[in-house]
Amino acid sequence: GESVGLHLPTLSVQEGDNSIINCAYSNSASDYFIWYKQESGKGPQFIIDIRSNMDKRQGQRVTVLLNKTVKHLSLQIAATQPGDSAVYFCAERGGSYIPTFGRGTSLIVHP
Amino acid sequence: DSGVTQTPKHLITATGQRVTLRCSPRSGDLSVYWYQQSLDQGLQFLIQYYNGEERAKGNILERFSAQQFPDLHSELNLSSLELGDSALYFCASSVATRIAGSTDTQYFGPGTRLTVL
């Protein structure tokens, strides 16, 4: 399975390319999903969220897609920049209001 | 800057010792959450406080305890420390209204890196 740190799934892209980070969630009852970005030595930073009654939401350079049929979430980053290099976590939340975080994906952007 | 502050930034201590981590939530947020992040466990929820009361409990050891004070800041107390307690400890805060349809997004602080030697 996935793990944080050296064994994180890694996505390497060139500066200017679009990046797609995927996340599979487990609870079909989850009604709210969040993407966080964590840079080295910092806390997770909120990027974008989506409710379960939506299948797409766009922010500034980022888009989140939700496919409830297959319990899949993705984060698309347009025109990826070196400053986007970080670990990206998806989180799902159900009735307990406590989110469950995925293991994370490490995004490396090459200039 | 999320508006959540945590002190200290780094803490180095020995096994068997006790430490206290401090968190101040964003202005207006009533709820505080504590998380542990280690290399092999990812981000694990420990405990949530809302307006001074414990609201939810996660994978928190009996050696760990927390409280939220009237000014809404929170402290996480870790005692009888073991090598395996070395990790990043994050605090997050949210409004936590639990109004139907609310998102109640959590905003994280910069974390405290605890090293137990």
Summarised one tens digit per residue, pLDDT across range B39-78 is 766 789 999 999 999 999 998 999 999 999 999 999 999 9
> Can you tell me the mean pLDDT for A23-51?
92
Subunit contact A43:B109, Cβ cutoff 8 A: yes
A–B interface: beta-carbon pairs under 8 A: 61
What value does the mean pLDDT take over residues A60-69?
95
Tokens 């890196």, residue? B113
- What pLDDT, on the 0 to 100 scale, is given for residue A34? 93
DSSP collapsed to 3 states, chain B: CCCCEEECCEEEECCCCCEEEEEECCCCCCEEEEEEEECCCEEEEEEEEECCEEEEECCCCCCEEEEECCCCCEEEEECCCCHHHCEEEEEEEECCCCCCCCCCCCEECCCEEEEEC
Distances in whole angstroms, Cα of residue B115 to Cα of each of B11, B81, B84, B112:
6, 10, 9, 10
Radius of gyration of chain A (CA): 13
- Tell me which residue of B115, B108, B110, B109 sits closest to B38, measured CA to CA: B115
Closest residue in A to B48 (Cα–Cα): A98
Residue A46 has pLDDT above 70, yes or no: yes
Contacts of B112 (CB under 8 A, 6+ apart): B6, B7, B8, B9, B10, B11, B21, B88, B89
> Which pLDDT score, from 0 to 100, does residue B98 have?
61
User: Is residue A3 predicted with pLDDT exceeding 50?
Assistant: no
Residue A6: its chain B contacts at CB < 8 A? 39
Q: How far is A30 from chain B (nearest CA, A)?
A: 12
What number is the average pLDDT over the span B12-17?
Answer: 97
Asked if A92 contacts A101 with a C-beta cutoff of 8 angstroms, the reply is no
DSSP letter (8 states) at residue A95? T
Q: Name the pLDDT band for B1 (thresholds 50, 70, 90).
A: confident
pLDDT grade, residue A4 (50/70/90)?
A: very low
pLDDT tens readout for residues B77-110 = 999 999 999 999 999 999 866 665 566 788 999 9
- pLDDT score of B26: 95
Q: Which amino acid is at B69?
A: F
Q: Which residues of B touch A33 (CB under 8 A)?
A: none
How does residue A23 score in pLDDT terms, banded at 50, 70 and 90?
very high
Test B43 with A101 for CB contact under 8 angstroms.
yes
Average pLDDT over residues A17-46: 92
Structure confidence at residue B12 (pLDDT)? 97
pLDDT of amino acid A1? 31
Q: Is A23 on the interface with B (CB under 8 A)?
A: no
DSSP annotation of A5 reads G
Residue A59 touches partner B, C-beta closer than 8 Å: no
Look-up: residue for tokens 């980070």?
Answer: A21
Q: What SS3 class is residue A7?
A: helix
How many Å apart are CA A81 and CA A24, to the nearest integer? Answer: 25
Say if residue A6's pLDDT is above 50.
no
Q: Which residue has the tokens 């939506």?
A: A54
Q: What is the pLDDT of residues A70-106, one digit of tens each?
A: 999 999 999 999 999 999 999 998 777 788 888 899 9
Q: With contacts defined as CB-CB under 8 Å, which chain B residues touch A31? A: none
